[in-house]
Amino acid sequence: MTVSRSHRRLRAFTLVELLVVIAIIGTLVGLLLPAVQAAREAARRCSCLNNTTQLGIALHNHEFHTGHFPAGVINPDGPIKNEPVGQHVSWTVQVLPYMEQNSLFRMFDQQAGAYAEVNDKLRRANIVVLRCPSSPGPRGGDQGGNSAIAWSSYAGCHNSVEAPIDVGNDGLLFLNSRIRFDDILDGSSNTLLLSEHIFPEPIGGISPEELGWPSGTRATLRNTGRIESLSKRRFTGLVEEEPAENGLLTVGGFGSYHPGASVIGMADGSTRAMSDSINLEVLHALGSRAGGELPSADW
């Protein structure tokens, strides 16, 4: 008796079919990556917004308890130079008790100054709320041991245009300032308190990263004279070159590692986004506390 068997023919993918599948997967991944990156950036921007809000609350709590905002920088005289020489105690140090950093505040010797040896270890302390998650670079003590000075992604507004940090500035945080809400004649909702800043190559003096968050120099103070770009030495509203001898007094403007806009905190406690393409006249107006400009929604 003969038994017939049916043989099932096994069929595999051809090379062409495999290439088509790989191409489809590659296309889908290519379409998905921008969405993933956008979602991550949205999360980082949200975290930065929270940091700005927390710093604004700390500044307002200081004003509530003392009757005035902290000095942008404490120093016997001015103008302030971008070098580790002087007392240079920043507003950031002064609001530490309102940022749940009481221990750090008590240990910091303000009289000795921001660069004193007694404060050297404290300068390397990384404070999470001072760091925008989109900012690249070292984070102080949490990378490389205690070798790096910790720095801040946020700066207070000292003046409406580019000028050295001094006692005559028209912003809210400047040399030995004691600004009260009554001094903000333009209205707290129309006056910039703080924002992000980036770290382009220094025009002169010491890089802000080397000065750190305790330093009341351009490391923690900026002005609304311009919006700084991530592109090397390219700024809005300022010529690209400046005399090298002016570098120690050059402060610089605000800027962000977020694409298209910076996160800012206003004197009324609100936080919002400020476009990189903001009108320069409006930008200058936001930086002054009593400039007498009419309020504008064009930003």
Q: Each residue of 232-242: b (16+ CB within 10 Å) or e?
A: eeebbbbeeee
On the 0-12 / 13-18 / 19+ scale of CB atoms within 10 A, 291 is: middle
CB 150 within 8 A of CB 57: no
Q: Is 281 helix (H, G, I), strand (E, B) or coil?
A: helix
User: What residues are paired with 145 via a beta bridge?
Assistant: none
pLDDT of residue 109: 96
Separation of alpha carbons 121 and 129, rounded Å: 19
Instruction: Give the 3-state DSSP-derived string for 103-140, with helices as H, strands as E and coil as C.
Output: HHHHHCCCCCCCCCHHHHHHHCCCCHHHCCCCCCCCCH
How much is the CA Rg of the chain, to the nearest whole Å? 25
pTM score, two decimals?
A: 0.81
What pLDDT score does 236 carry?
A: 44
Residues contacting residue 197 through CB under 8 Å, at least 6 positions apart: 153, 154, 155, 208, 222, 228, 252, 253, 254, 255
Helices (H), the chain: 15-66, 91-94, 102-107, 120-123, 208-211, 280-287
* pLDDT tens-digit profile, the chain (299 residues): 454 555 555 566 687 777 888 888 877 777 766 776 677 778 888 999 999 999 999 999 999 999 999 999 999 998 999 999 999 999 999 999 999 999 999 999 999 999 999 999 999 999 999 999 988 755 444 443 445 788 899 999 999 999 999 999 999 999 999 999 999 999 999 999 999 998 765 555 566 667 899 999 999 999 999 998 765 444 444 434 444 445 789 999 999 999 888 999 999 999 999 988 899 999 999 999 998 877 666 66
For position 181, what pLDDT does the model report? 94
H or E segment at 193? Answer: strand 192-196
Q: Are 96 and 105 in contact (CB under 8 A)?
A: yes
Alpha carbons 137 and 103: distance in angstroms, whole number = 26
Q: So what's the pLDDT on residue 81?
A: 94
User: Pairing between strand 221-228 and 192-196?
Assistant: unpaired
Question: Which pLDDT score is estimated for 244?
Answer: 43
Residues 136 and 47: beta-carbon distance below 8 Å = no
| pLDDT score at 60 | 96
Specify the DSSP class assigned to residue 80: B
For the range 21-30, what are the long-range contacts, defined as Cβ-Cβ under 8 Å and sequence gap of 24 or more?
Answer: none
